[in-house]
Amino acid sequence: MPDHEGFAAPVLPTGELASSAAAFTKTFVGYQAACSCGWTDQRRFLATPEGAKETEYRWWSRHAASLIAAAPPGELVIKSNLLRERIVKLAAERPLAALILLSQLESWQRTLLDQAVAGARETGASWAQIGEAMGISKQSAHERFRAHVSS
């Protein structure tokens, strides 16, 4: 994951987290899981090689695993981008043909969005998580979909 590089951050005696390189030069009292995106875990592990390994696993189990589960398959992202490029080209060459295709996509998309939101709610996703996945606020997600989803 390009934006999420996990590491065992050394905890300095002040309680502050240091960069992983500080483990070689400074006194530290433990490790806490951290990520290049700014995420940090609260649990502190021992300042030992085993503690560092446990901390790295913690980054995986508490942060990275859920990000991977929420990410669309790369193959579908590529196909989706390819489809968009083809439609842009089609719209330039044969705008009415593109209009037919885009209208079809729009009608599928509405139905599929409702189904995906309902599925996300059924599996325990919060409105905040749904909003984040769609790039909108949790209030906007709730207002837009509450009529289509129970609860």
Q: Please give the residue ranges that form the binding site for Zn ion (CB under 5 A).
A: 4, 35, 37, 39
Q: Which helix (H) or strand (E) holds 126?
A: none
Q: Where are the alpha helices (DSSP H) in the chain?
A: 49-59, 65-70, 74-93, 95-122, 127-134, 138-145
Q: Minimum Å distance from CB 39 to Zn ion?
A: 5
| Cβ distance to Zn ion smaller for residue 35 or 120 | 35
| Cβ distance to Zn ion smaller for residue 37 or 68 | 37
Q: Minimum Å distance from CB 74 to Zn ion?
A: 18
| Cβ distance to Zn ion smaller for residue 57 or 98 | 57
| Cβ distance to Zn ion smaller for residue 17 or 117 | 17
d(C-alpha 5, C-alpha 67), whole Å: 12
Q: Minimum Å distance from CB 119 to Zn ion?
A: 25
Q: Minimum Å distance from CB 9 to Zn ion?
A: 12
First-to-final CA distance of the chain: 33
> Measured between alpha carbons, how far is residue 128 from residues 19, 42, 101 in Å?
30, 22, 32
